[in-house]
Amino acid sequence: MTHTIQAWPRPLPQIDRDHAEWWAGLARHELLVQECPRCKALTFPPEPACPACRSLERGWRRSSGRGRVFSWVVVRRASHPYFADKVPYAVVLVAMDEGFRVVGSFEGPLDALCDGLPVEVGFDDVNDEVTLMRFRRVG
Amino acid sequence: MSPALRSKAAIVGIGATEFSANSGRSERRLAVEAVLAALADAGLEADDIDGIVNSDFDATNQLDIVNALGLANIRAYATIPHGGGSPCGTVAQAAMMVTSGVCECVVAYRSLNERSGHRYGSADAVPAYPWVFGLHAPYGLVVPGEWTAMHARRRMIEFGETREQWAEVPVTFRAHANRNPRAMLHGKTLTRGDYLAAPMLAEPLCRYDYCLETDGAVAYLVTSADRARSLRATPAHIHTAVQATGAPVWYQTNWYRDSLTTGAEVVAAARQLWSESGLSPRDIDVAQVYDHFAPLVLTALEDFGFCGKGEGAAFVGEGRIAHGGALPLNTAGGLLSEGYIHGWNLILEGVRQIRGTSTAQVEDVEFSLVTSCWGAPTSALILSR
């Protein structure tokens, strides 16, 4: 699977209105999770209503940024040309301490990855709108 | 589908093009070839068709069939959404169109040049990814195999599964494809050694865990059980067909809900399927389980209740899912080895098992199960004699 197209753009999010506040949080280096002002249920990814109590009122809570690896993927052959010179790379699914999960890059040796590995979020600014998450082992 | 509709409609014709890496013709042409083949199989005429159903993602629409075949009698048409989750839902839709009395003869089809044209397994040169795709594509999880690996890893963590155990699925399905001259990989054997030696693409998955990419089309015809009696083919009665979403669902990136190893949508579909059919997994003689990725076959078998959660690897061992086993699966080779018509070719094989014309025929089939995609809003179908 050799890709010859070198001009492909880096994959970025198309930030819609329901996700805009969450991305704005990352841009401030804050990992947010939607918290229902009425029933306190946490919702991620963001939704326009609370799936627990159906309230249209939406609020946000700031995460401590700490969590544990819940699952991970090691990409050994890139499917997208942007990542061709970055393989092998690991992407982690992290269960944040507050009780929601997010995806981010993993910075560290691939053989350190295991279920429950304690990690902490860091932030990489890509442009004015987009900041991505990078998780590092703690402790 | 209400139990009141049970076995009131039947699939009476099936048709397909060859499955290839490069069809050399348009998706319109492929669709029409499959529809004509299904008509010939049923002994019906194009003018008998008064309803059309297809899936989203198709490059064609109903009008392409109408225009190519001059269909002047169409009374209802529908497109069922959610990609690989849709195929058995199209059967439910066709059955409802017929049993409601709106239509007498519904054709359903799926056509794609998915290998020579747009490949679902390849990244797209798009600048920005919408909705939840924007939450993972920037990190390099861009295609379905990379998404599914997250779910597969979790099976290893929770159940201690190994790739040695997963090998049973692709190796068995390949053996079925080796019996099926229509299968893309008819002439290629696959051993456990081949599987275990294959390089990782998105670890813990290798290429043999991935379904094929295929050019081709399939079609089937549904009419009432009454009319089916006068037709030439053994009718495959639509005993029960269900759709379900469960909640929440994010296609192959169901990472934000409680479990990565249980499909809320499949559990919901299974609950409906068994309650509305009055049947249980023990009643199923043969099954075509949506096999976009090998380890997800285990998850689906568990979610449909064929075994307990975490018992999928043991369940598929010892030849149970092979031809001659207690529950032969994907007897034409499945999406892993026959071809990938986005799950629709599984319906045709489910019909063949009722007719007795499979190349890996199970004896005395009374109930033939077909399922659609794990992870997407999904659907399932029980065909009966």
Please report, as a single letter, which amino acid is at residue A89: Y
Q: Map residue B267 onto helix, strand or coil.
A: helix
- Determine the distance in angstroms separating the CA of A29 from the nearest CA of chain B, rounded to an integer: 16
Asked if A71 and A139 sit in the same domain, the reply is yes
Domain count, chain A: 2
Residue A11, domain member (yes or no): no
Residue A1, domain member (yes or no): no
pLDDT at B4: 87
Asked if A49 and A111 sit in the same domain, the reply is no
Residue B195, domain member (yes or no): no
Residue B339, domain member (yes or no): yes
Q: What average pLDDT does range B239-260 have in this prediction?
A: 96
Mention every residue, 6+ apart, whose C-beta is less than 8 A from residue B75.
Answer: B50, B51, B102, B103
**Residue of B122, B138, B260 with shortest CB distance to A79:** B122
Residue A95, domain member (yes or no): yes
Burial label, A21 (beta-carbon count in 10 A; 0-12, 13-18, 19+): middle
Domain that holds residue B271: 3-117+212-384
**d(Cα A105, Cα A93) in Å, to the nearest integer?**
9
Which backbone phi and psi does B228 adopt, to 5 degrees?
A: -60, -30
Of A27, A43, A62, which residue sits at a domain end? A62
Q: Select from B61, B50, B19 the least CA-distant residue to B344.
A: B19
Per the prediction, chain B carries an average pLDDT of 97
Residue B170, domain member (yes or no): no
Asked if A132 and A68 sit in the same domain, the reply is yes
Helix (H) or strand (E) holding B145: helix B144-159
**Within a 13 Å sphere around the CA of B57, how many CA atoms are in the beta-carbon half?**
23
Residue A10, domain member (yes or no): no
**Residue of A45, A80, A130 with shortest CB distance to B123:** A80
Residue-wise pLDDT tens digits, A78-105: 999 999 999 999 999 999 999 999 999 9
pLDDT at B28: 98
**d(Cα B342, Cα A29) in Å, to the nearest integer?**
41
Residue-wise pLDDT tens digits, B97-108: 999 999 999 999
pLDDT surpassing 60 at residue A2: no
Asked if A44 and A72 sit in the same domain, the reply is no
Q: What is the CATH number of the domain that holds B54?
A: 3.40.47.10
Residue A6, domain member (yes or no): no
Give Cα A114 to chain centroid, integer Å: 18
Residue A42, domain member (yes or no): yes
Report yes or no: B354 and B385 within 8 Å, Cβ to Cβ: yes
**Residue of B127, B132, B150 with shortest CB distance to A12:** B127
pLDDT at B228: 98
Q: What percent of chain B has pLDDT over 70?
A: 100
pLDDT at B124: 81
**Chain B residues within 8 angstroms (CB to CB) of chain A:** 121-123, 125-143, 145-146, 149-151, 153-154, 157, 199-203, 247-248, 250, 255-256, 260
Q: Which of B115, B119, B139 to mutate to test the interface with A (most CBs of A within 10 A)?
A: B139
Residue-wise pLDDT tens digits, B195-226: 999 999 999 999 999 999 999 999 999 999 99
Say if the Cβ atoms of B143 and A9 lie within 8 Å: no
Looking at residue B139, the DSSP 8-state letter turns out to be G
- Determine the distance in angstroms separating the CA of A64 from the nearest CA of chain B, rounded to an integer: 18
Say if the Cβ atoms of B135 and A132 lie within 8 Å: no
Q: Which of A103, A114, A117 to mutate to test the interface with B (most CBs of B within 10 A)?
A: A103
Residue A5, domain member (yes or no): no
- Determine the distance in angstroms separating the CA of B128 from the nearest CA of chain A, rounded to an integer: 5
Q: What is the CATH number of the domain that holds A104?
A: 2.40.50.840
Contacts of A104 in chain B (CB under 8 A): 139
**Are β-strands A89-96 and A66-75 bridged in parallel, bridged antiparallel, or unpaired?**
antiparallel
Report yes or no: B41 and B15 within 8 Å, Cβ to Cβ: yes
Asked if A85 and A43 sit in the same domain, the reply is no
Residue A8, domain member (yes or no): no
Neighbours of B303 (CB within 10 A): 26
**Residue of B141, B143, B247 with shortest CB distance to A103:** B141
pLDDT surpassing 70 at residue B302: yes
Q: Which residue of A has its CA nearest to B139?
A: A105
Q: Map residue B134 onto helix, strand or coil.
A: helix
Residue-wise pLDDT tens digits, B122-146: 988 787 999 999 999 999 999 999 9
Domain that holds residue A113: 64-139
pLDDT at A1: 44
Asked if A77 and A26 sit in the same domain, the reply is no
Angle of helix B264-277 versus helix B294-303 axis, rounded to 10: 50
Report yes or no: A90 and A107 within 8 Å, Cβ to Cβ: no
Contacts of B140 in chain A (CB under 8 A): 11, 75, 78, 80, 82-83, 86, 89, 91, 105
Residue B188, domain member (yes or no): no
Cis peptide before A88 (omega within 30 of 0): yes
Q: Select from B41, B147, B68, B115 the least CA-distant residue to B341.
A: B115
Catalytic annotation on B340? yes
Report yes or no: B107 and B49 within 8 Å, Cβ to Cβ: yes
Say if the Cβ atoms of B129 and A74 lie within 8 Å: no
**Within a 13 Å sphere around the CA of A122, how many CA atoms are in the beta-carbon half?**
11
Q: Select from B331, B309, B327 the least CA-distant residue to B317.
A: B327
Asked if A130 and A92 sit in the same domain, the reply is yes
Contacts of A81 in chain B (CB under 8 A): 123
ipTM over 0.90: yes
**Within a 13 Å sphere around the CA of B275, how many CA atoms are in the beta-carbon half?**
8
Domain count, chain B: 1
Residue B141, domain member (yes or no): no
Residue B198, domain member (yes or no): no
pLDDT at A88: 98
pLDDT at B125: 79
Angle of helix B27-42 versus helix B62-69 axis, rounded to 10: 70
Q: Which residue of A has its CA nearest to B141?
A: A91
Per the prediction, chain A carries an average pLDDT of 95
**d(Cα B51, Cα B226) in Å, to the nearest integer?**
18
